Amino acid sequence: MLAEKRILLIIGGGIAAFKALDLIRRLRERGAAVTPVLTRAGAQFVTPLSVSALAGQKVFSDLFDLTDEAEMGHIELSRSADLVVVAPATADLMAKMATGLANDLASTLLLATDTQVLLAPAMNVRMWQHPATQRNLATLAGDGIRTVGPNEGDMACGEHGPGRMAEPLEIVTAIEAALGAGPLAGRRVIVTSGPTHEPIDPVRYIANRSSGAQGTAIARALAALGAQVVFVTGPASVPPPEGVEAVQVETAQQMLDAVNAALPADAAVFAAAVADWRVTGASDSKIKKSPGGGAPALDFAENPDILATVSALKAGRPALVVGFAAETDDVIANANAKRARKGCDWILANDVSPGTGIMGGAENAVTLITAEGAEDWPRMTKDEVARRLADRIAGALA
């Protein structure tokens, strides 16, 4: 909820400006007060009248309007909010912000504000991917400016790719996260992710094909709902998400130690593809080939099962423990058995047979198994699976 939160909403000039009207409605439904600022270009796409009608407030649109300056100066306006949101944030506005230009009301407010700023970029895909925009984005991130989106998809200009403004509800979620007002605010959640590397010698290791994409998406989605996330990750091929406490580990034993150190927590999601075995007596020096000496023999020991260990804790067990079951055969039966064996509350079962393209791919098809039964989710992106799971976790912890 956003009761009594004051949002200064700057509406830039882009076709996505129409979505800002829905955003205003959604924010007000949640109790926020929205003060709208419409740039000159923004007013080409939505009218001041519709913006002010939805916001229930006058629209600020001209830096040098003397009446406005007498009622509320632009400096005061820039500081009167709990959060400044720019939606849509155009390439032009981002460039102005990155260079510190202040030649109209919106850019002046953005330079004068001492409040957090959240951008919802929206532009043509090539404009988004242009090195100048990406440079500006990096500068703004370095300045502590948050962003939500853009999303990938078909664009009004007929092209396809990243550039679509995030949907109003996604922006609301990002606003709640920025204000620490999401449904998981004050909740601590541990997420494991990625593969583990089990050393054979200093240069060789045993690993698996996990990319860490699903675990990373889950950590991001939980953080977006306001959770304090400890993200314990093996050597993944995707970077950790922003806004989480990332703990980088290599082996299963290190992952268990990091999880133990992160407890207590309200919930834990074990998305890592942990190696079941490690090489005993891994060599401290590189194993050399000796001519005619044959292949070295490796001995294995079983790794600790992190999910089972945490599920079995007598004291300090998270209220909700979620595991994954990566299966290739009898997915539901195996996952049900795994849930019972490991003692966790929920299992997300997925079929990782090579034909599914799930391992290392962008999509996932999962079945959520709880004490109440099995629930098939349609095939969706790993980000969508993550958002849906985060919503369910928020519901369970409410």
Enzyme catalytic residues: 157
Q: Which is nearer to ligand CTP, 114 or 329 (CB)?
A: 329
Neighbours of 238 (CB within 10 A): 16
Does 303 sit near ligand CTP (CB under 6 A)?
Answer: yes
Number of residues that bind ligand CTP (CB under 6 A): 14
Q: Which is nearer to ligand CTP, 132 or 337 (CB)?
A: 337
Does 272 sit near ligand CTP (CB under 6 A)?
Answer: yes
Does 270 sit near ligand CTP (CB under 6 A)?
Answer: yes
Does 274 sit near ligand CTP (CB under 6 A)?
Answer: yes
Contacts of residue 66, Cβ cutoff 8 Å, sequence gap at least 6: none
Tell the burial category of 66 from Cβ atoms under 10 Å away from its Cβ (0-12, 13-18, 19+).
exposed
To ligand CTP, the closest distance from the beta carbon of 305 in angstroms equals: 4
Neighbours of 180 (CB within 10 A): 10
Q: Among candidates 319, 101, 267, 293, which has minimal Cα distance to 93?
A: 101
Does 306 sit near ligand CTP (CB under 6 A)?
Answer: yes
Does 251 sit near ligand CTP (CB under 6 A)?
Answer: no
Does 194 sit near ligand CTP (CB under 6 A)?
Answer: no
Does 252 sit near ligand CTP (CB under 6 A)?
Answer: yes
The residues in 307-336 that bind ligand CTP, with binding defined as CB under 6 A, are 307, 323-326
Residues 365, 352: Cα–Cα separation, whole Å: 9
Does 369 sit near ligand CTP (CB under 6 A)?
Answer: no
Judged by CB under 6 A, the stretch of 9-17, 58-66, 270-278, 369-377 that binds ligand CTP is 270-278
DSSP class of 43: G
- Assign 162 to helix, strand or coil: strand
Residue linked to tokens 């829905």 = 22
Token pair for residue 159?
A: 């092209």
To ligand CTP, the closest distance from the beta carbon of 323 in angstroms equals: 3
Does 385 sit near ligand CTP (CB under 6 A)?
Answer: no
Count of residues in the chain: 398
Token pair for residue 177?
A: 């996260």
The residues facing 147 across adjacent strands are: 119
Contacting residues toward ligand CTP, per CB under 6 A: 192, 252, 270, 272, 274, 276, 303, 305-307, 323-326
